[in-house]
Amino acid sequence: MKRTVCLALWVGALTATAHAAGPEITTDVPSEPSGKQRPLWELGLGVAGLRLPDYRGSDQYRAYALPLPYVVYRGKWLKADREGARALLVDVERVKVDVSVAASVPTRSRDNVAREGMPDLPATGEIGPNVNITLLRTSGTKLDLRLPLRGAITFQSSPRFIGATFSPNLALDLLEVAGGWNVGMLAGPLYGDRKYHEHFYGVDPIYATASRPAYRASGGYAGWQALAATSRRFGNTWVGGFVRYDSLAGAVFEDSPLVRSKHAFTAGIGISWVFARSSELVTTTD
């Protein structure tokens, strides 16, 4: 059950990140034209399928199927929409500051060759401020510079703080493409502090073997990431999907024995059915 809950959190985070690009990971709906009257809230439920590596740098993948919640809230400061679930802290012309979230799935070391004999990797959650600067905006296009800075903790009986990440990116939104599809793309570098990288890529001497030497990770550049996502609403049905590419080439920890692949592709698809909505209407502005 704990693994399922953590996966659901990861899907939520990644879905929001994906569609915010046009993502990390998170709770997402298709884009809506400005000035439209929409329900204050909507609820739905569906299913999602995912294929993802055990962790960034792993050469082993898992496939998952799990529930996919659909939650929309169009409040003034608290929102859950196409840009994810967030609390809007600052909203001025071309600049917004909100709360950014991300997550990673748990990994059982007995199921991963590179980590065999090491402690399991618990699922993690990340949260922190995110500055959005709108560089370009038209009726159907939006280009943002996003600057999320997050602290990370583990999801376990005694949660631990495991460091901080910074992932600046350019995010492009295209609305109503090819008859009604909304397309989002983002790309940018990733950075983490020493504590964060050590959690995923460090090898203590007690766990060293002939093929897995002891290793201490350092902080800094962690590679780059690019993501593309699309979604569309058909009446009460929402469908969406994403693909993500990760590169660890040049990362400060790329020589860790736990890095078995410097490239990774993640993909997912989901469908949700909206079964409840508010009778109160609000005017959407985004």
Distances (CA, A) of 58 to 16, 55, 69, 163, 186: 24, 5, 28, 20, 23
User: For residue range 137-163, what is the model confidence (pLDDT) as tens digits?
Assistant: 988 899 999 999 999 999 988 999 999
Pairing verdict, β 84-92 and 124-137: unpaired
What mean pLDDT is predicted for residues 128-135?
Answer: 93
CATH topology of domain 2-283: Outer membrane phospholipase (ompla); Chain C (2.40.230)
User: For residue range 49-64, what is the model confidence (pLDDT) as tens digits?
Assistant: 999 999 999 999 999 8
Say how far apart CA 157 and CA 247 lie, in whole Å: 32
CB-CB contact of 101 with 26 (8 Å): yes
State the DSSP code for 179.
T
Q: Residue 174 above 90 pLDDT?
A: yes
pLDDT of residue 35: 55
Higher local confidence (pLDDT), 21 or 109: 109
Q: At a CB cut-off of 8 Å and minimum separation 6, what does 210 contact?
A: none
Q: Is 213 exposed, middle or buried (0-12, 13-18, 19+ CB in 10 A)?
A: exposed
The answer to whether the predicted template modeling score (pTM) of the entire model surpasses 0.85 is: no
